[in-house]
Amino acid sequence: MGKRRRNRNSTYRKQFHEKLNEHWGKDSKVRMRMLLGVDTEVPEVEAKIDGRDWRTFFPQPTKFSGFSWFEFARRVKKLNNEKHEEIVREAKNKAHQRFSEAHPSHQVSGSSENAKKHEDVVKDKTSAGKSIINPYKTQHTTNTAQQEDNNDSDDEKW
């Protein structure tokens, strides 16, 4: 395809997109006319590109071409779901391996009941003997000016 043919095709493509945008903007024109109180009928977009109707300028693939977007989307969705499940499975396995390496005395099986019992035991151990300190909470956050004015009432400050 030469330079002239490419230029001609790009011109046709631009014309097609202009008409397509006009067609899509028809609803907004109708709504605008309703607000203004003018007649709401908007004429159909009629144009010819190189002697052909603008709607049929780019031919649609035939139904019997052997390609279906519905089937394609269904297959892609299935593949994405399988990939996601595999990633989740691998992440769980890695987490179990890390936990078993960090805590070799604990034997955690895959059942949810054993995992719940294990969580309860860990919570009981931490709450029974030790108090947990929140590292993000500051202990002494008082203003030095307030320390100096301990005798003053709140009414005088405001």
> Residue 44 has what pLDDT?
87
- Read off the pLDDT of residues 92-137 as tens digits, 9 standing for 90 and up: 999 998 888 888 776 655 555 555 544 444 444 445 555 556 666 5
- Read off the pLDDT of residues 6-37 as tens digits, 9 standing for 90 and up: 888 888 889 899 998 998 888 888 898 888 88
> Residue 120 has what pLDDT?
45
- Cα 82–Cα 87–Cα 89 angle in degrees, nearest 5: 95
- Give the position of tokens 């052997």: 66
Give the other-Cβ count within 10 Å of 8's Cβ.
13
Strand partners, 48: 53
Please check whether residue 40 is in contact with residue 33, taking contact to mean a CB–CB distance below 8 angstroms.
yes
SS (H, E, C) 15-46: HHHHHHHHHHCHHHHHHHHHHHCCCCCCCCCC
Domain boundaries, the chain: 3-56, 61-107
- Read off the pLDDT of residues 64-101 as tens digits, 9 standing for 90 and up: 777 778 888 999 999 999 999 999 999 999 999 888 88
